[in-house]
Amino acid sequence: MPTSPMLDKGPCVLVWGYGESDAAYLGKTLGDVKVAMETNVSDINEDQAGDAAVNAVLTGSVITIDVPLTRLSVAELRRILHTEEPAGGPCIVPIENQIGCDLYSLAKALVIKPICGNVISTNPCEWIHFYKTYPVAGLDLTFNKDTQRIFPVKFKVFVSQESGFEGLFGTIGMDSAASAM
């Protein structure tokens, strides 16, 4: 019986900046890593058909990737929050108001790799590759005896504007020549 190329169930790891010298695994997750695509449609109507559509036009798709990160190192947290080490010390992570940035120019590739038997997949056919993504980080820091703290990150996925990839978000599966990162 066939299975989907990225396996039917199980956890994953995420590599942001895939293919770049500063690419990094993002850390551990707690909860659902969720890739969602919504394609929008605009109905074409005529008075004579009442509320029933007589046709429709596709108006575009939106992809988001929700990643609940947990147990991040200071360096991983700075990377997700887009901050640098302040003069105050190596254990400080500034929480900054981020406003007015062109995100496409800061976007990087994101690769999602499934885990099977505690081993990260080395088979590019099982990976999901998004060409241009940017992590928009949040905080969900509950303090009590039962709830583990997470850093919810929503990756904004942009349609590529790069030559040869125009109009594409990415691929399910990658070329077998993909690097071993």
Give the Cβ contact number of residue 41 at 10 Å.
11
Residue matched to tokens 């990225």: 6
3-state secondary structure of 57: strand
Contact in structure between 17 and 24 (CB atoms under 8 Å): yes
Quote the radius of gyration of the chain (alpha carbons, Å).
20
Contact in structure between 133 and 156 (CB atoms under 8 Å): yes
Going from the C-alpha of 148 to that of each of 30, 58, 91, 95, the distances in angstroms are 9, 41, 20, 20
DSSP 159: P
- Of 22, 24, 27, the C-alpha closest to 12 is 27
Top pLDDT among 54 and 99 is at 54
Top pLDDT among 4 and 128 is at 128
Predicted confidence at residue 7, as pLDDT, reads 77
Q: Which two tokens stand for residue 5?
A: 């190329």
Q: Give the mean model confidence (pLDDT) for residues 137-162.
A: 94
Share of the chain above pLDDT 90, in %: 70
Q: Give the mean model confidence (pLDDT) for residues 113-120.
A: 94
Q: Is the pTM of this model over 0.85?
A: yes
Q: DSSP characters for 119-155?
A: EE---GGG-EEEEEEEEEE--B---SSSPPPBEEEEE
User: Domain boundaries in the chain?
Assistant: 12-38+53-172
Q: Is the pLDDT of residue 2 over 60?
A: no
Query: Rounded to an integer, what distance in angstroms lies between the CA atom of residue 76 and that of residue 82?
Result: 10
